[in-house]
Structure 1
Amino acid sequence: MLQYVTAYISTVIVFLAIDYVWLTQVATRFYFDRIGHLLMAKPNMAAAGAFYILYVVGLVIFAVAPALKSESVVTAIILGALFGFFTYATYDVTNYATLKDWPFLVVVVDVLWGTFLGGISAGAGYLLTRAFT
């Protein structure tokens, strides 16, 4: 049980740190320029918090835990990237299919970001868990 708690804490710290830099330093202008008219003045932090909690639970269940079982960082990275790809693609392709002004470029960039973020976070979560347990 301690290993899974460590996996969650390690993965969530990495995920939040990388996504924070992406959202505040790198992609802010990109998203604002393309979907700014859809964005709230202030994000709903409770909903954002729920996303981060649930998303990292998914990363741990579907990527970090299998990697710990197989003792393979490559497994963590591949499964984390796949989890990121499918979850971000579900969100973005659904938006592209249902929202009038959802740009295809946002779909591509966001799905690539989710794939990268999932892989890196799961890989780092695995390595940190192995180091601390």
Structure 2
Amino acid sequence: MSKNIILFFIAFIIFSIIDLIWLAYVGRPIYVYYLGDFLRENPIWISAIIFYIFFIIGMIVFVIRPAINQLSYRYAVSYGSFYGFITYMTYELTNHAVIKAWPFGIVLIDIVWGAILSALVSVLSLFFYRRFCLN
């Protein structure tokens, strides 16, 4: 199996676990409070999966692969957090600009979460890739 495919699955699993914990337990009360009327009872999972796939491909291209090439956790943390900050900010500020009732509290929470999540996924992907694929 190609090392890029292995890297994708490493990042996908890490991202999915961390983000699902956030969405199901930590962030859920926040989202219900701010966005209760907007939330679906049953999410459209295919949309979430498509987002995860392309978000992770972007992380691999712009953050994780360069961090592996440099063997640099500092690169993974700094560029991972920047990637998450920029991508989540794009989504949140667009929502805030065009959706009448989009709360600014959610904008701030999600931007910070995007930076933290992306930094964690980048560092952990680098760690597991180095541990299992570079030997």
Q: TM-score range by the shorter chain?
A: over 0.9
TM-score, normalised via structure 2 length: 0.94
State yes or no: 1:69 paired with 2:61. no
Structure 2: segments with no counterpart, 5+ residues: none
Aligned length: 133
- Partners of 1:111 and 1:123 lie apart in 2 by 19
Q: Percent identity of the aligned residues?
A: 32
Q: What amino acid is the match of 2:90? A: T
TM-score (norm. length: structure 1): 0.96
Return structure 1 stretches of 4+ with deviation > 4 angstroms. none
CA shift at 1:34, angstroms?
A: 0.4
Opposite residue 45 of structure 2, the aligned amino acid is: M
* Equivalent position of 1:23 in the other structure: 23
Once the two structures are superposed, residues 45-99 of structure 1 have per-residue CA deviations (whole angstroms, 9 ceiling, x without a partner) of 1101101111111111111000011111111111111110001000000001111
Describe the SS at the equivalent of 1:37. Answer: coil
Alignment RMSD (CA, Å): 1.1
CA positional deviation for 1:27: 0.8
Distance 2:7 2:126 in 1: 7
Give the counterpart letter for 1:121 in structure 2: V
For 1:105 and 1:131, the matched residues in 2 are separated by 39
1:30 positional shift: 0.4
Name the structure 1 match of 2:55: 55
Measure, in 1, the Cα distance between the counterparts of 2:78 and 2:104. 25
**What SS class does the counterpart of residue 100 from structure 1 fall into?**
coil
Partner residue in 2 for 1:12: 12
Matched with 1:86 is 86
**CA separation in 1, counterparts of 2:22 and 2:123?**
18
The runs of 5 or more residues in structure 1 that have no matched partner are none
Matched-pair contact (CA < 8 Å) for 1:6–1:132: no
